[in-house]
Amino acid sequence: MGNFKKLAQKRLFLPVFSMILVMLINVVYDIATGSAPLSFFMISIKNGVLYGRLIDILNRGSEIAILAIGMTLVVSASGGTDISVGSVMSLYAGVCCMILAGYGNVNVQEYAHPLLVGIGAGLLVTLICGVFNGFLVAYMNIQPMVATLILWSAGRAVGLLLCNSQIVYVRVPSFQKLGAYCGIIPTPIIVAAVCVAIASIVLRYTALGTYIQSVGINKKASRIAGFNSAKIILMCYALCGLCAGLAGMVATSRIYSADTNNIGLNMELDAILSVALGGNSLGGGKFSLAGSIIGAYTIQAITTTLYALGVSSAQAPVFKAIVVIIIVVIQAEPAKAFFKKLTKKSGKEAARA
């Protein structure tokens, strides 16, 4: 009991607890329907690649996880959200596929330009988008949501223009690689893992994380203490743009096409939600990157669970909303205080007995 209490006080306890709770729904369902209780967690190798629901969650959750990295930094430093990330993902798709297919082509079997040029240009454009957002927020002092609203609406539109409003297919195996498999592991998982690893290493072994938090807690005080607050905020937005580009890269390679209408659609909301589900305050300041990443995979776990339960597509959003509400409420301060009181009381009663 004492150990559990210690564990429960850890910052990441509730996010992890929520994720496990979501997955437990499947166990209950499996037992109720008479199938193997742990079938949801089974991982095997089939047709030469990893196979299982957990793999699906990791694989499909890659885009949200990558977005969550950038979103966490932005939220922490500026106390606002970048709502343009979904649209910027779609812009990446437009730029990359337009370059690889050649302007005006809709369906190509070979590259018009080398693969790295396409990916590089796409990522560069998304980085520029991030810098643009950051400039508006940090130097023009525009509210983050308003500043990023510009690219939220323009990013997708520019992507569509680049592709002549069509779905541009690049049917080259090496292009699909990033969205398919690398050996037995789905490549998106590797991309997400590398992104998370780099971000954690940088944040842990440099003072950057501390800088960002201090700017988020008090921008003015940080400036007086000698930080270039504006520069740090700009950098966070730039990184967020780059993360959107990387997420777009995965999403585009998955379907080897620039479906600019649908890539990243509403993903900004998932990214913001994953930051919140990770126990981070959307008001800025202290943050936990691990929390956000867990939040991201929790969202995907909900989606995958709904598919696994066979919830009809018309009802799925309602179920998703209910699960999200429960998770958010568990993590809310008043709820935490209530649980604390409850455990204290039961502890006292136990002592009396």
Partner 1 sequence: MKKKLAVMALAAATLSMMAMPVYADDLVTVGYAQVGHESDWRTANTQNYQDVFSEDAGYSLDLVDCDNDNAAQLEAVRTFISKDMDYIVIAPIQSAGWDTVLQEAQDAGIPVIIADREIEASDDLYDAWVGTNTTNEGITAGNWLAEYLGDKDANILVIEGSVGASAALGRTNGFNQVAEEHDNWKILDSQSGDFTQAGGQEVMESFIKSYEGQFNVVVCQNDNEAYGAMDAMDAAGITYGVDGDVTLISFDATHDGLQYTLDGKINCDVECNPIQAEVVKGVIEKMQAGEEFEKTTLVEDQAFVAPGIESEYATTMTDEVLAGRAY
Interface stretch with partner 1, choices 97-105, 121-129, 238-246, 254-262 (CB under 8 A): 254-262
Task: Find tokens 């919830």 and name the residue.
Answer: 311
* Contact call for residue 257 and partner 1 (CB under 8 A): yes
How far is it, in rounded angstroms, from Cα 254 to Cα 177?
A: 8
Please pick, from the candidates 4, 104, 107, 210, the single residue that binds partner 1 as defined by CB under 8 A: 107
Task: Find tokens 């742990």 and name the residue.
Answer: 38
Please pick, from the candidates 3, 9, 47, 141, the single residue that binds partner 1 as defined by CB under 8 A: 47
Residues of this chain, 120-149, that bind partner 1 according to CB under 8 A: none
Q: How far is the CB of 37 from partner 1 (least distance, A)?
A: 15
* Contact call for residue 268 and partner 1 (CB under 8 A): no
Site string for partner 1, 174-213 (x = CB under 8 A): ------xx--------------------------------
Residue 350: phi and psi, rounded to 5, are -60, -40
Interface stretch with partner 1, choices 6-14, 52-60, 193-201, 217-225 (CB under 8 A): 52-60
CB atoms within 10 A of CB 62: 29
Task: Find tokens 């079938």 and name the residue.
Answer: 39
For residues 247 and 61, is the Cβ–Cβ distance under 8 A? Answer: no
Interface stretch with partner 1, choices 10-18, 219-227, 313-321, 324-332 (CB under 8 A): 313-321
How far is it, in rounded angstroms, from Cα 351 to Cα 344?
A: 11
Q: If you ran DSSP here, which 8-state letter would residue 165 be given?
A: T
Please pick, from the candidates 15, 18, 22, 53, the single residue that binds partner 1 as defined by CB under 8 A: 53
Q: How far is the CB of 261 from partner 1 (least distance, A)?
A: 5
Please pick, from the candidates 16, 49, 182, 269, the single residue that binds partner 1 as defined by CB under 8 A: 49
Of 116 and 314, the one with the shorter C-beta distance to partner 1 is 314
CB atoms within 10 A of CB 50: 19
SS3 (DSSP) at 171: coil
SS3 (DSSP) at 204: helix
Please pick, from the candidates 97, 98, 263, 277, the single residue that binds partner 1 as defined by CB under 8 A: 263
Please pick, from the candidates 8, 52, 154, 172, the single residue that binds partner 1 as defined by CB under 8 A: 52
* Contact call for residue 13 and partner 1 (CB under 8 A): no
Please pick, from the candidates 143, 165, 174, 346, the single residue that binds partner 1 as defined by CB under 8 A: 165
* Contact call for residue 29 and partner 1 (CB under 8 A): no
* Contact call for residue 62 and partner 1 (CB under 8 A): no
**Could you give the C-alpha distances from 78 to 143, 178, 327, in angstroms and in order?**
9, 32, 25
Of 263 and 273, the one with the shorter C-beta distance to partner 1 is 263
* Contact call for residue 151 and partner 1 (CB under 8 A): no
Cα 187 from chain centre: 16
DSSP string for 34-85 = TS-TTGGG--EEETTEEESHHHHHHHHTHHHHHHHHHHHHHHHHHSS--TTH
How far is it, in rounded angstroms, from Cα 143 to Cα 79?
A: 10
Give, rounded to a whole angstrom, the gap between the first and last alpha carbons of the chain.
Answer: 17
Tokens representing residue 300 in the block = 């995907």
Residue 145: phi and psi, rounded to 5, are -65, -35
Interface stretch with partner 1, choices 3-11, 158-166, 204-212, 224-232 (CB under 8 A): 158-166
Of 180 and 208, the one with the shorter C-beta distance to partner 1 is 180
What residues line the site for partner 1 (CB under 8 A)?
Answer: 46-49, 51-53, 56, 60, 107, 160, 165-167, 169, 180-181, 251, 254-255, 257, 259, 261-263, 304, 307-308, 310, 312-314, 316
